[in-house]
Amino acid sequence: MPPRADLKALFALAIPVATVNLGLMGMGVVDTIMVGHVSAVELAGVALGNLYWFAAGGFGFGTLMALDPLISQAVGARDDAAVARGIQRGLVLCLVMCVPAVMLFLPAGAVLRLLGQPLDVVPRAAEFVHVSIAGILPFYAFVVLRQSLQALGRMRPIVIVIVGANLFNAALCWLFVFGGVGSLRGAAAVALASVIARWCMVFGLLAAAWRDLRPSLLPPRPEALAVAPLVSMFRLGAPIGVQYNLEFAVFGVVALLMGRLGIVPMAAHQIAINIASLTFMVPLGISAAASVLVGRAIGAGDPARARGMALAALICGMTFMALSGVTLWLGRRLFATAYTIDPAVIALTALLLPLAALFQVFDGLQVVSIGVLRGAGDTRTPMIANLLGFWLIGFPTSLWLAFRAGGGAVGLWWGLVAGLAAVAVFLVLRVRSKMAGELGRLRIDGEVI
């Protein structure tokens, strides 16, 4: 059993991180609810636009996660200069990553038409994406500041800003969608509300955490613009971006395949995924906390503490998801009826939720393992694990069970279970190997950062 001090430190960071993750998810839920009362076409436009937005912007988001090991290890080593260099380089990389993201956002309409999406939905989705372009810079900047403050252990300002942003976003959505404010309507209106909320989040976080951030942001450091370290930082973060896209893509493709099976499978899938996504926020918070605490221990030259934190995180993530899985299995029909009154959808959802219960444990293990490895500076293994587990094992299994073996929606989900199980086993073994070896601070071009 991990020491009580390790568990206390883990929970102290994981709980506010999970709260922030739920808050970020909540903004999307409010957008969907608001526009859902306008029309089904506008609702579909928001759903499709969000799917495109995260697919195109996910790589940049993931790449900026390179800050996790860099800042946390510098904090552990009490190296304030390295913390400042890391944060300032993160902001520079944030600007750079906006360029390819915007280039991908611009042809949204043409790409969605090429993918055969409904012609009446594409214009709404494209307008949603185009309006959202103005929000990519604050979104990436918020990621940089959030990850930096997490590494510093300053979560209170982030929680306060997220709560305020949710209230502000809800008010803006109502004004734009139902209050007659502005010229945009429907999907474009909620996109504008999100853009304004994201800019407020950045400035709000700067104001709320200025005392913590000022020593790292001022004065500007010329070395933050050095090309070689920025390239090395990009190389560290790029595998995280690819890993995010690989995982996002497999779940997106499965959702599209559900649509081929019919309306009932698609609806049941969305309900089950939505429930699983909510419970996933807790191990995701544990993962982020593990990344920070493992990184700090390595930076402080305390490999034994790093190993203890890794073990504590894995046990906590697995335990929570096991309990969550049991809850989903026991309450499968109750959860289904909370979302819909359609008997066919309820029946199929009740068949999918036990599978969600099963993959909860694997999902918790894989995401916590990713956090541990990231804190230790290993960002490539999770990318490889996602490629092998999801695309070479899980996805082919989904296709065979669903369309060859006649398993339908349940067959598609068994493929997801197989993929997550493979990823989890691979990553847990890698954590064991990594933690057993030598643990040292990351270096970029010979410079410890």
Please give the average per-residue pLDDT across 153-178, as a whole number: 91
Per-residue pLDDT band at 338 (split at 50, 70, 90): confident
Per-residue pLDDT band at 55 (split at 50, 70, 90): confident
Residue type for 341, please? Answer: I
Q: Is the pLDDT of residue 251 over 60?
A: yes
Q: Which of 286, 255, 261 lies closest to 416 in space, CA to CA?
A: 255
Per-residue pLDDT band at 72 (split at 50, 70, 90): very high
Dist CA 71 CA 67 (whole Å): 6
* pLDDT confidence of residue 304: 92
Per-residue pLDDT band at 2 (split at 50, 70, 90): low
* pLDDT confidence of residue 182: 64
Q: What is the pLDDT of residues 324-335, one digit of tens each?
A: 989 989 998 988
Please give the average per-residue pLDDT across 107-111, as a whole number: 93
* pLDDT confidence of residue 309: 93
Q: Is the pLDDT of residue 371 over 90?
A: yes
Share of the chain above pLDDT 70, in %: 96
Sign of the four-CA dihedral 18, 99, 379, 291: negative
Is pTM beyond 0.85? Reply is yes
For the ranges 258-272, 292-306, 369-383, which has the lowest average pLDDT? 258-272
Q: Is the pLDDT of residue 276 over 80?
A: yes
List Cβ neighbours of 387 (8 Å cut-off, separation of 6 or more).
246
* pLDDT confidence of residue 31: 75
- Residue 133: C-alpha distances to residues 137, 145, 349 (Å): 8, 20, 36
Q: Which of 355, 324, 312, 373 lies closest to 65 in space, CA to CA?
A: 373
* pLDDT confidence of residue 112: 87
Q: Contact at 8 Å (CB) between 156 and 122?
A: no
* pLDDT confidence of residue 206: 96
Q: What is the pLDDT of residues 399-431, one digit of tens each?
A: 999 999 989 999 999 999 999 999 999 999 999
Per-residue pLDDT band at 346 (split at 50, 70, 90): confident
Q: Contact at 8 Å (CB) between 295 and 434?
A: no
Q: Is the pLDDT of residue 33 over 80?
A: no
Mean pLDDT of the chain: 89
Per-residue pLDDT band at 435 (split at 50, 70, 90): very high
Please give the average per-residue pLDDT across 334-349, as a whole number: 84
Per-residue pLDDT band at 300 (split at 50, 70, 90): very high
* pLDDT confidence of residue 283: 92
Dist CA 321 CA 233 (whole Å): 33
* pLDDT confidence of residue 420: 94
Per-residue pLDDT band at 201 (split at 50, 70, 90): very high
Q: Is the pLDDT of residue 445 over 60?
A: no
Q: Is the pLDDT of residue 22 over 90?
A: no
Q: pLDDT: is 103 or 120 the higher one?
A: 103
Dist CA 209 CA 361 (whole Å): 36
Q: Is the pLDDT of residue 447 over 60?
A: no
